[in-house]
Structure 1
Amino acid sequence: MAKESFAQALAAVLVHEGGYSNHPDDPGGPTMRGIIQRVYDAWRRAKGLPPRPVRQIEDGELKEIYRRQYWDAVRGDDLPAGIDYVVFDGAVNSGPAQSAKWLQRALGVPADGQVGEVTLAAARAAAETGPGGLVDAICDRRLAMLKALSTWRVFGKGWGRRVADVRKLGRSWSTGGRAPTPGIPVGEGEAAKGALASARPAPKPEAGAGAVAGGVIASTVAEAVRQIEPHAAASPALSTVFAGLTLLGLALTLGGLAYVWWSARAAARRADALDLVPGQGKA
């Protein structure tokens, strides 16, 4: 797309942003057409203007914020057709650095959250051979991260529909199609985004349950050892049981420590793969 693709991409983004919202579960707080109060305050301060409610944001202000803080931040003018919109929408929803990482991981280049010449060259090459596949890879990563967030239970329906629409429109534009901007009504609270890049992943209950169960068993074995120990010397059978239980207790303790270590490593790998390491969201 040429540079005028910003207007087309922004129109598509605003379909999903809706109007004003201030959902209690949205860390972003008051939001108007996708711009949160914190962003609006910072923009007005930079302009030497007094703060005011984001609900009063003007069209000119809205367009400049979207272009400077999201479109330009991911180098939308330099990205291939369709890919520019997909990355731009992700930047609006989860922050420019996060969206850049989805693009970079999909391309297999270092994911530093900054769209530079290496990323752009890889994106152009991918657009030449299979732009639809790149769109899918970006959207798949985005959806996987969103589903892992604790706020998925509140905003998941709207987020899932949004990613599906972005995927469809991005694929169309990336292959030269002229699919119209979708006119999908956004329900109350579904457009709210929050600081997705810094949100914590939903806990995995099975990991906690396993650790608790292991601790209960180890404690039970330790109590049995304590009860048998005074009588072990007087009975070969009890001595054997005592030795066995002691070894079992030691094995359970070591196993528990190994499980905690393994769980931490697995969680770290999962967080890295899904870009869930706490960081900056929309600022």
Structure 2
Amino acid sequence: MRINFLACLKTILPFEGLWSDHPRDPGGATMKGIILATFRRFYPNATKADLRAISDADVSRIYRLEFWDKIGGDTLAAGVDLAVFDAAVNSGPGRAKAWLKASIGGTDDKTVKRVCAKRLGFVQSLKIWKTFGRGWGKRIAAIEAKGVAWALAATAPAATVKAQLVDEQTAATKTAKTARTSGGTAGAATAGGGGDVLVNPHHAEQLAGWVIGGLLVAGAIVAIVLISRSVIHRQRAAAYAAEAEAMGVL
């Protein structure tokens, strides 16, 4: 929505932080989420020092022109605008628009969740997920929860919105517990060495070593995926709880 730009920017900036020049960040030097290459499109001869001293006015202008306008933020529904805007900031307007296009259908709160799920799937596929994954997961969860809250608030009373946020928290908590339990079971079976859940030990000698090894590796991968899933949903549960709590007593 046109009137939502500043609210969306205010939500996003704390996640972007201030100055960063992490050696494993492909974006390189960054200030308030703006990388040097982007800053130089506005100020061609800018140095890292110039970027570090960027004004609030330039921050707002660059975010609007480079991300908000490119995703058509003024035309998007409340909540959807936040989800797509934040996705554009992290992964580029092109990907963000593609995720939106693939997510449209049903209520706006469902669109928010689909966009965030597609975005999460993408960042999990990146090699630097191991370095930045926990922070990215927490951020996407927070954006999802707030986006859903904004989308619901556009058509429902506050009490209904809060109840739905609590329901989302409960569902995410349940999914996290189930994934954690399943991941622990798969991990224990693999660590047992025999892979009894996957292979009948009485037949083990009849199987080639590479087959057994492959099954054990598969078991380990399943365990890792399930544990990762548990972490993601715990983050979602915490984010929805925070949004519900922010609404206070209704």
Please give the TM-score of this superposition, normalised by the length of structure 1.
0.52
How far apart, CA to CA, are the structure 2 residues paired with 1:146 and 1:51?
Answer: 30
The answer as to 2:14 corresponding to 1:19 is no
- In 1, distance between residues paired with 2:68 and 2:12? 11
- Give the deviation of 1:131 after TM superposition: 1.3
What secondary structure sits across from 2:43 in the alignment? helix
1:57 corresponds, among 48, 54, 59, to 54
User: In 1, distance between residues paired with 2:153 and 2:61?
Assistant: 27
TM-fit CA distance, 1:44:
1.3
Match of 2:136 in 1: 159
The Cα shift of 1:132 comes to 1.4
Q: Quote how far apart the aligned CAs of 1:52 are.
A: 3.0
Greater relative contact order (Cα 8 A, min sep 6): structure 1 or 2? Answer: 1
Q: 2:41 matched to which residue of 1? A: 42
Give 1:93's aligned amino acid. N
Choose the corresponding residue for 1:93, options 86, 90, 98.
90
Measure the CA separation in 2 of the matches of 1:21 and 1:58: 16
SS of residue matched to 2:65: helix
Please state which structure has a larger fraction of its residues in helix.
2
Secondary structure, counterpart of 2:46 in structure 1: coil
The code of the aligned residue for 1:150 comes to K
**Number of positions where the alignment pairs a residue of Structure 1 with one of Structure 2:** 154
Aligned equivalents of 2:9 and 2:54: distance in 1?
A: 16
Higher Rg of the two aligned structures: 1
Structure 2 residues not aligned, in runs of 5+:
162-250
Cα RMSD between the aligned structures? 1.5
- Provide Cα deviations, 1:125-144, integer angstroms capped at 9, x if missing partner: x4xx4111111111111111
Distance in 1 separating the partners of 2:75 and 2:96: 15
TM-score by length of 2: 0.59
Q: Distance in 1 between matches of 2:71 and 2:112?
A: 15
Distance 2:151 2:42 in 1: 32
* Match among 71, 74, 77 for residue 74 of structure 2: 77
2:79 and 2:109 mapped to 1: Cα distance? 9
Which of 116, 119, 123 in structure 2 is aligned with 1:146? Answer: 123
1:111-260 aligned at under 5 Å gives the runs 126=105, 129-176=106-153
- Which amino acid in structure 2 is aligned with residue 157 of structure 1? R
Deviation at 1:87, TM superposition (A): 0.4
Equivalent residue, structure 2, for 1:28: 27
Give the ranges of 4+ consecutive aligned residues of structure 1 lying more than 3 Å apart after TM superposition: none
How far does the alpha carbon of each residue in 1:29-53 deviate from its partner, in whole angstroms, 9 at most, with x for none? 00000000110011113xxxx4232
Corresponding residue number in structure 1 for 2:4: 5
Q: Which ranges of structure 1 fall in alignment gaps of 5 or more residues?
A: 108-125, 180-283
> Which of 96, 102, 106 is the equivalent residue of 1:105?
102
Distance between the aligned counterparts of 1:133 and 1:42, measured in 2?
A: 36
Give the aligned partner of residue 229 of structure 1. none
- Counterpart-to-counterpart distance in 1, 2:39 and 2:66: 11
Residue type at the aligned position of 1:29 = G
Residue 90 (structure 1) shift: 0.4
Distance in 1 of aligned mates of 2:5 and 2:43: 22
- Aligned position for 2:248: none
Offset from partner CA, 1:242-267 (integer Å, 9 cap, x none) = xxxxxxxxxxxxxxxxxxxxxxxxxx
Deviations 1:158-215 (Å, cap 9, x if unpaired)? 0000000010000011111689xxxxxxxxxxxxxxxxxxxxxxxxxxxxxxxxxxxx
